[in-house]
A and B are shown apart, each in its own frame.
Chain A
Amino acid sequence: MTDKTMTPDEVAGRLRSGMTIGIGGWGSRRKPMALVRALLRSEITDLTVISYGGPDVGLLAAAGRIRRLVAAFTTLDSIPLEPHFRAARERGAFEMTELDEAMFMWGLHAAANRLPFLPVRAGLGSDVMTVNPELRTVTSPYEDGETFVAVPALRMDAALVHLNRADRLGNGQYLGPDPYFDDLFCEAADTAYVSCEELVDGFGDAAPQTLLVGRHSVTGVVETPNGAHFTSCAPDHGRDEPFQKLYATTPWPEFAERFLSGKSEDDYQQAVRTWHEEQQ
Chain B
Amino acid sequence: MISRAPLPPPTRAEYCVVACAEAWRGDGEVLAAAMAPVSSFGARLAKRSFAPELLLTDGEAMLVGLDGEVEGWLPYRRHLTMVTGGKRHVMMGASQIDRHGNQNISCIGDWSRPARQLLGVRGAPVNTLNNPVSYWIPRHSPRVFVERVDMVSGVGYDRAAAAGATRFHRIPRVVSDLGVFDFETPDRSMRLASVHPGVTLEQVRQATGFDLVIGDDVPYTREPTAEELRLIREVIDPGGLRDREVRAG
A178-B111 in contact (CB<8A): no
Complex: A178 Cα to B78 Cα, angstroms: 10
Are A177 and B61 in contact, with the CB atoms below 8 A? yes
9-residue interface stretch from A74-82, A196-204, A218-226: A74-82
B103 to chain A, nearest CB (A): 10
B116-135 at interface with A (beta carbon < 8 Å): 116-126, 128-130
Least Cβ–Cβ distance between A77 and chain B, in angstroms: 10
Interface of chain B residues 44 through 90 with chain A (CB within 8 A): 60-62, 73, 75-77, 80, 83-84
Closest Cβ–Cβ distance, residue B121 to chain A (whole Å)? 6
Residue A157 lies at the interface, judged by CB distance under 8 Å to chain B: no
Question: For B130, what are the chain A residues with a Cβ–Cβ distance below 8 Å?
Answer: 121-122
Q: Complex: how many Å from CA A100 to CA B167?
A: 19
B120 touches A71 (CB 8 A): yes
Q: Is the interface of B mostly helix, strand, loop or mixed?
A: loop
B80→A121 contact, CB < 8 A: no
**A90 engages B116 (CB within 8 Å):** yes
Which of B156-164, B189-197, B202-210, B224-232 lies at the interface?
A: B156-164
By a CB distance below 8 angstroms, the chain B residues around A124 are 125, 129, 155, 160, 163-165
Q: Which residue of the partner chain, among A53, A102, A179, contacts B83 with CB atoms under 8 Å?
A: A102
> What is the CB-to-nearest-CB distance from B169 to chain A, in angstroms, rounded to a whole number?
8
Given A90-B115, A102-B126, CB of A72 within 8 Å of CB of B121:
yes
Secondary structure at the A interface, as helix, strand, loop or mixed, is loop
Determine if B153 is an interface residue (Cβ-Cβ < 8 Å): yes
Within 8 A of B (CB), among A89-126: 89-92, 98-103, 105, 120-126
User: Does B113 interact with chain A (Cβ within 8 Å)?
Assistant: yes
> Inside 8 A of A71's CB, which chain B residues have their CB?
120
CA distance A59 to B154 in the complex (A): 29
Q: Report if A74-B155 is in contact (Cβ < 8 Å); known contacts: A122-B125, A126-B125.
A: no
List chain B residues, Cβ under 8 A from A121.
Answer: 84, 126, 129-130, 165, 167-168
B111, A131: Cβ atoms closer than 8 Å: yes
B125 touching A146 by the CB < 8 A rule?
Answer: no
B219 near A: Cβ within 8 Å?
Answer: no
B122 interface neighbour in A72, A89, A92, A123, Cβ under 8 Å: A72
Q: Which residues of B contact A (CB under 8 A)?
A: 60-62, 73, 75-77, 80, 83-84, 106-107, 111-126, 128-130, 151-155, 159-160, 162-165, 167-168
The 9 closest A-B pairs by CB, nearest first: A73-B120, A122-B126, A125-B163, A177-B61, A102-B126, A100-B125, A125-B155, A89-B117, A125-B159
Instruction: Jot down 16 A-B pairs with beta carbons below 8 A, ordered by A.
Output: A86-B116, A89-B113, A89-B114, A91-B113, A92-B113, A100-B123, A103-B125, A120-B126, A121-B84, A124-B155, A125-B125, A125-B159, A126-B125, A126-B153, A178-B75, A179-B75
